[in-house]
Amino acid sequence: MSQAKRASVMGMVREPGEPLFGIELLVYEELKRVLRARTMPPCEMNILRPREVVAAAFANFFPAGGSAEDTIWFYVVAARCMRRLLVERATAALYDGNHMRESSARLLKLHDALRRLQSTQPQSVRIVELYYFADCAQDEIATLMRMPSRSVAAEFRFIRAWLMSVVDDESE
């Protein structure tokens, strides 16, 4: 995949309800397949580990292991697709009267805050997605985003505090 194609894929991933295309759709469907294969009883859903799901999907996409470039674009796209999948699940849980109503509502508030932030700080959104939805450590995010680890740490601290204040304010 060319650099330009990877860059355009990294910026994609539509909102829940919008159609998916191309490689984005393939990653989304693979994540769904892995999630279905690891389906747990509802009382155990809170122990879902996004990193395991993303890593399994990556291994299925690249059985012989991917290049550094493959890893970067895959994890960025997978984090966004995982966000979409979890938002879809949270929405369904709210409307189905699922016992996870409170955590679902909180996830939807986080999603809404990220959506608002996307137009002004897309890099910050990508960092949050990699951290929360692909379960990457800050040093891994630095490698994936090609940023100094200290910059990722500082940006993450700032954006996390902002997101928590927004999510908590909206909870009241």
Predicted confidence at residue 12, as pLDDT, reads 47
Residue 15, pLDDT score: 52
Number of domains in the chain: 1
The pLDDT of residue 18: 57
Domain hosting 125: range is 3-171
Cβ neighbors of 148 (< 8 A, separation 6 or more) are 142
Distance CA 72, CA 74 (A): 6
Q: Environment class of residue 21 by beta-carbon count within 10 Å: exposed (0-12), middle (13-18) or buried (19+)? A: exposed
Residue 171, pLDDT score: 52
Sign of the Cα torsion 95, 97, 98, 99 reads positive
Question: Residue 158: what pLDDT?
Answer: 92
Positions of the chain with pLDDT under 50: 1-13, 42-46
DSSP 14: P
